[in-house]
Amino acid sequence: MSACNQRAAGDSLYLAEAKVYPREVSGRFARLRTLSVWVLLGIFYLLPWLQWNGRQAVLFDLPARKFFILGLVFWPQDFIFLTWLLIIAALALFFFTAIGGRLWCGYACPQTVWTETFLWMERFAEGNRGARLKLDQAPWSAAKIGRKALKQFLWIAFALWTGFTFVGFFTPIRTLAGEVMGFALGPWETFWIIFYGFATYGNAGYLREQVCKYMCPYARFQSAMFDRDTLVITYDEQRGEPRGARRRGTDARAQGKGDCIDCTLCVQVCPTGIDIRKGLQIECIACAACIDVCDDVMDKMGSPRGLIRYTTTHALEHRPTRILRPRTLIYGAILGLLMVGFVLAVALRSPVSLDVIRDRNVLFKLTDDGNVDNVYTIRILNKSEHPQRFVLEARGASPLTLIAKQTEYQVPSGAVYSLPLRVRRVAYEPLGAETIVFTLRSLDDPAVHTETEARFLAPTR
């Protein structure tokens, strides 16, 4: 067994760790992860190129302070939805962790997904585990420089593309691509592409499992979601021990041995370099590489699969595993409620919003014929997908007249329309200030309307 997969006490950080050379693995769970990598990275790299009604389908337009997600436009006023979504994401993580253990870590975490791709590139440039170990021990030669250079080239190119794509979610990617081609990138765009590219390169190329062990907050508190009914990857000690080498097809029991042949392949494939046979450890990201490789070995040895398998503590104790239990029911119920609420709230979100801001310089104005005028600035936000015409009216205790340049406001989709407006109260009665209500109606869609209150100031006598 190679020394580099062995770990001493895990209290060293980053560079202090010995490098892990995960052995390539194939099997059910490896295929599942490969699929997950393609799907997730496919979404990440292709999504910004998708068009919707002549604009980028998903664009978090920070300079314009508008988020476009397919047909929806979100404004800073909709920040609550983002918060809501993050809470849903967190609860979903709790829920799936309680049921399936660290499924997130093994298959969906960006750290896992990008590390996997960086490993593919490493394998392409430097060969499999044995070749990489040999290469790193070999003295520098032209061949070694060539292989290392190829790896660095692939890594850096992929990292920069990742940074470019990332920035493409925040600034229109087609424009960005044009600027990259013409070497006309702005300083901040350049900075963020390099910043994010470097983060990808460092995390997926070098830090790898260290991120999970030392940087990830989730890894630290995930055990709080675990109980004896949670799926974990476990080595079946009762079946495997005492471990030891034996000839293929021979009966382990007859030789007084367990099914584990101590081939150490489960240690060699582990991306975090642990030995699963020592029991569940905090470093285990539940990638199931050890299951795949052990199943292969068991097949070859003619023993049943599952010496290392997904199972629960209860199952190992020969007790029934309960999927429905207070923990999952509570997580599930809260998650369900939040999700239904979210969908409803987004669907019922008013497609228009109206802000009324009083003019700060003038309290009110008295006209010669005994009327009171207040001046406001009106902001109409059309959050819908279509341009709309709006009419505005105001009502108070006595009749109000709106004095503006026009009576009908044409607002394009996703745009803000801002106009100064004078509101005239016909007489002094009632005396003093009052709260008036502005109502905005769409002429194109009668269902679209909104109301906003504002103070109307007037002299008391």
- Helical spans, DSSP H, in 350-449: none
Would you say 120 and 41 are in contact if contact means Cβ atoms under 8 Å apart?
no
Q: How many residues bind other proteins (CB under 8 A)?
A: 30
Reading the block at residue 407, the tokens are 């009576």
What are the backbone dihedrals phi and psi of residue 229, each rounded to the nearest 5 degrees, phi first? Answer: -105, 5
Q: Which residues, at least 6 apart from 308, have a Cβ–Cβ distance to it below 8 Å?
A: 233, 234, 235, 236, 266, 276, 290, 291, 294, 295
Contact call for residue 221 and other proteins (CB under 8 A): no
In the chain, % helix, strand, coil (3-state, to 5) comes to: 45, 20, 35
Interface with other proteins by CB under 8 A: which range of 15-23, 34-42, 367-375, 432-440?
15-23
Contact with other proteins (CB under 8 A) among 17, 126, 229, 259: 17
Q: What is the largest CA-CA distance in the chain?
A: 113
Interface stretch with other proteins, choices 11-19, 35-43, 156-164, 304-312 (CB under 8 A): 11-19
- 126 forms part of the interface with other proteins (CB under 8 A): no
Is 89 a binding residue for other proteins by CB under 8 A? The answer is no
Is 245 an interacting residue with respect to other proteins (CB under 8 A)? no
Q: State which amino acid sits at residue 233.
A: I
One symbol per residue from 377 to 416: x for binding other proteins (CB under 8 A), - otherwise; what is it? ----------------------------------------
Hey, which residues between 141 and 200 contact other proteins (CB under 8 A)? 186, 188, 191-192
Nearer to other proteins, 217 or 446 (CB): 217
Cβ(286)–Cβ(232) below 8 Å? yes
- For other proteins, the binding residue among 41, 103, 133, 177 (CB under 8 A) is 133
> Per the structure block, which two tokens stand in for 52?
């919707």
Stretch that binds other proteins, among 13-21, 241-249, 296-304, 334-342 (CB under 8 A): 13-21
Instruction: Please tell me the distance from the alpha carbon of residue 263 to that of residue 245, in angstroms, as a whole number.
Output: 8
Q: How far is the CB of 12 from other proteins (least distance, A)?
A: 5
CA distance 67 to 57: 10
Judged by beta carbon, residue 134 or residue 455, the one nearer other proteins is 134
Among 63, 182, 249, 446, binds other proteins (CB under 8 A): 63
Sign of CA dihedral 207, 208, 210, 212: positive
Say how far apart CA 161 and CA 153 lie, in whole Å.
Answer: 12
Under the binding rule (CB under 8 A), the answer on residue 460 touching other proteins is: no
Shortest Cβ 73–other proteins spacing (Å): 15
Check binding of 214 to other proteins (CB under 8 A): yes
CA distance 395 to 456: 11
Residue 18 vs 103, nearer CB to other proteins: 18
Binding site residues, other proteins, CB under 8 A: 2-4, 6, 8, 12-19, 21, 62-63, 65, 76, 79, 82, 133, 136-137, 186, 188, 191-192, 214-215, 217
